[in-house]
Chain A
Amino acid sequence: MSDHQAEIETRRTPGRLARAWDSDLAYSFRHAPVAMVSAAVVLILVLSALLAPWIAPYDPFDPGSLNLMNGFTPPGQPNAFTQETFVLGTDDQGRDVFSTILFGMRISLFVGFSAVLLAMVIGVVLGLLAGYLGGWVESVIMRVADIQLTFPAILVAMLIFGIAKGITPPAYRDQMAIWVLILAIGLSDWVQFARVVRGATLVEKSRDYVQAARLVGRRPFSIMIRHILPNVLNPVLVIATISLALAIIAEATLSFLGVGAPPTKPSLGTLIRIGQGFMFSGEWWILLFPALTLLALALSINLLGDWLRDALNPRLR
C-alpha cells in the first residue's frame, strides 16, 4: 500500500530536475543568451582545468619529458630540430603552452574558489554575529570592516602576502605560496560578505519566525544557523560569483607582479609574467594564449554574476 501511495506521490509532483527546470531562475537563464554562453564557457574551462592531467598532451612539470630543443616552437608548426608540433607552441624551455595553460588554470581556479570560500565563511559568520548579537560585537566587527575598506582589496592582499611570506622560512616559500595567496585574497575580501549578511540579518531578526524561535527557547547560535542563515544566502551567492571573478583577477595580478604563484607552480598570472619577457623578441604565443584564457575566464564569470544578480533580485534591475 505504501508503494502505491509513493507512486501517486511521484506522479503528482514532478521530479527534482523538472521542478528546477520550471523555476524562475531557470526560466530567466533560458531567456538570457549571454548567461547561457558565459555558463558554457565557464563550464568548458572549469572542466578542462579539472581534467588537465588527462587532457594535457604533456606534463609540463615533469622535467624528464622536456626537450630544450623544442624551445620556442611557434604554434601549429613543426619544430625545426625535432619536427614535433605543438597546438599553441612551446615556451623557452620547450614546455607545451597548451598544457601549461591547462595546469595554470587549475591553480588559478583553485586559488580563486578557495579564496572566495574563505572570504565567504569569514564574512558570513562575522556578519551573522554582528547583525544578530549587536552591541560591542557589532561595533568591533564593523569598525574593523570600515578600516579595511579604507584600503583597496588588492593592496591588503599584497600586504598580507608580504607578511605571510616573511613569516614562512625561505625553504618553504615556494611550496606555501599557493596557500598564502588563498589566505591573502580571502582575508582581503570578507568585508563585502559581512556587510551584506549583517544588513540582511538585521531585517530577518525582527521577523515573526525568529521571535517565535526565540520564544520556543532555541539558543542564539542555532537560530542564526538554522533560521537566519538560509534566508540571507541569496545575496551571498551573488557576491560570491562576482567575487570569484575578482579573486581570479587578483590572483593573476599578484602572480604577474611576482608576489603570487611561483614559476615552479605557475598560475595564469605567472604564465603571463613569463610571456611578457618574450613579447619583444617576437614569441607572442607564450604571452597571448594565457592572457586570452584569463580574459575568457574572468569575463564569463563576471557576466554570469551580473545575470545572477538581476535574476535573484529583480528590484536591482
Chain B
Amino acid sequence: MLAYIIRRVAQSILVLLVTGFVAFSMFSFVGDPVENMLGQERTQADVDRLREQLGLDQPFVVQYGKFLQQAAQGNFGLSYRQGRPVSDILAERLPATLELAAVSGLLALMGGIGFGIFTAIRRRGVGANVIMTLSLVGVSLPTFLIGILLIYVFSVELGWLPSFGRGDVVEIGGWTTGFLTASGLKALVLPAITLGLYQMTLIMRLVRTEMLEVLRMDYIRFARARGLRERAINFRHALKNTLVPVITITGLQLGSIIAFAIITETVFQWPGVGLLFINAIQFVDIPVMAAYLMMISVMFVGINLIVDLLYFAIDPRLRIDGKAGGH
C-alpha cells in the first residue's frame, strides 16, 4: 500500500512538472505580447520600456528559472490585457467559480443518488423509464444548449430568474459570496442546474447500475429471507455497497465540473475564472492562460490523488490485499 501511495504521489508530481513546462513554453513561443498591449501609435521607447517591465528582454533560461520560482509562489506576472497582477485577478474571480462548482456538485450528487436509487428500485415503473429516457437526451445535449434553453424558458419567457451575472454579492474577508443575498441566490439557480445536469445523469446511471448489481447478491436475498423491511434492505444494505464507485466517480467529476464551468460561465456571463480563461484565449493573454492552467492542474491532480487514497480508506478489502490496487 505504501508503495502504491508513493507511486501515485510521484505520478502527480510528474503531471505538475509537465503542465508547468507547457505553461512556461506558452510564454516563450507564443506571440509578442508587446504587439498586443500597445496600440498603433507606439514609439520604440514605449516598446522597450514595456519589454523591460514585463521581463521579456531576459534570456530564455533566466526567464524559465524565474518562472518556476515565481509560479511556486503563485505569482504569474502581469496580465497582458489588464496590466494587473494575474494572481490578484484570479483571487478575485475564484470565489464565483468555487461557489458555482460547489452548488452544482452538490446538486449532481444528491439528484444523481436520489434518481439512481429510484430508477433501480422501481426498475419497470413508468417514472423510472421517463427519467432514463430524459437522461439519454440530457447526455446528448451540449452543455451550452442546455444553458440557452434554460435562459429562454426561465428568463425570456417566464422572467423568473436573471439570465446573466452573479447578482449582489457580499464581501467577507476577501471572499465574495452570492449566498447571502436574494438576488445572488436567484442568479445561482440556472448556472448551477446547467453545470450540474450532465454530472447528475452520469452519477444517476452509475448508481442505478451498481444498485441493480448489488440487489442481485446473495446477502440481499438473505436479508429478504430474514424478513427485513424493503426500506432497510435498500438503504442500509444495498446503498452502502454502491457508494464506493460513486464516490470515486464523483470525486473525479469534480475536476470536470471546474473545467465545464468555463462553458456555463460564458453562457451566463458568470464572473468566474472560466470566463476569465476564455477571454484570455480570445485576447491571447498568456500569463492568465498559464496561471489558469497551473491552478486547474493543481486542483485536478490534488482531487485525483485524494480520491485514489480515499479508495483505500473506504474499501477495507483493498487494504488487506495490499498491492491489489488494480482498479
Interface bin, chain B: 35 or more
A295 at the interface (CB under 8 A from B): yes
Chain A residue nearest to B277 (CB atoms) is A158
Cβ contact within 8 Å between B259 and A151 = yes
A284 contacts across to B, CB distance below 8 A: 152
A245 contacts across to B, CB distance below 8 A: 140
A167 at the interface (CB under 8 A from B): yes
Distance, CA A39 to CA B296, complexed state (A) = 39
A151 contacts across to B, CB distance below 8 A: 255, 259, 296-297, 300
Q: A259-B282, A302-B140 are in contact. Are A272 and B145 (CB under 8 A)?
A: yes
Cβ contact within 8 Å between B30 and A257 = no
B145 contacts across to A, CB distance below 8 A: 272, 291, 294-295
| Interchain nearest-CB distance for A228 vs B (Å) | 26
Cβ contact within 8 Å between B304 and A158 = no
A212 at the interface (CB under 8 A from B): no
Chain B's interface: helix, strand, loop or mixed, by majority? helix
Among the 9-residue stretches A72-80, A129-137, A142-150, the one with 4 or more Cβ atoms under 8 Å from chain B is A142-150
B263 at the interface (CB under 8 A from A): yes
B250 at the interface (CB under 8 A from A): no
A253 at the interface (CB under 8 A from B): yes
B262 contacts across to A, CB distance below 8 A: 154-155, 158, 257
Contact of A146 among B11, B19, B266 (CB under 8 A): B11
A155 contacts across to B, CB distance below 8 A: 259, 262, 296
Distance, CA A287 to CA B148, complexed state (A) = 9
B152 contacts across to A, CB distance below 8 A: 279, 284
A162 at the interface (CB under 8 A from B): yes
Chain A interfacial residues counted at CB < 8 A: 37
A143 contacts across to B, CB distance below 8 A: 14
B22 contacts across to A, CB distance below 8 A: 159
A298 at the interface (CB under 8 A from B): yes
Interface residues of A in 249-286 (CB under 8 A from B): 249, 252-253, 256-259, 272, 276, 279-280, 284
Cβ contact within 8 Å between B140 and A280 = no
| Interchain nearest-CB distance for B105 vs A (Å) | 15
Cβ contact within 8 Å between B278 and A147 = no
Q: A152-B256, A276-B148, A279-B151 are in contact. Are A166 and B140 (CB under 8 A)?
A: no
A150 contacts across to B, CB distance below 8 A: 15, 255, 297, 300-301, 304
Cβ contact within 8 Å between A166 and B284 = yes
Distance, CA A215 to CA B263, complexed state (A) = 55
Cβ contact within 8 Å between B284 and A162 = yes
B222 at the interface (CB under 8 A from A): no
Cβ contact within 8 Å between A166 and B15 = no
A161 contacts across to B, CB distance below 8 A: 281
Chain B residues within CB distance 8 Å of chain A: 11, 14-15, 18-19, 22, 26, 29-31, 35, 137, 140-145, 148, 151-152, 156, 163, 255-256, 259-260, 262-263, 266, 277-278, 280-282, 284, 286, 289, 293, 296-297, 300-301, 304
Chain A residues within CB distance 8 Å of chain B: 143, 146-147, 150-152, 154-155, 158-159, 161-163, 165-167, 170, 245, 249, 252-253, 256-259, 272, 276, 279-280, 284, 287, 291, 294-295, 298-299, 302
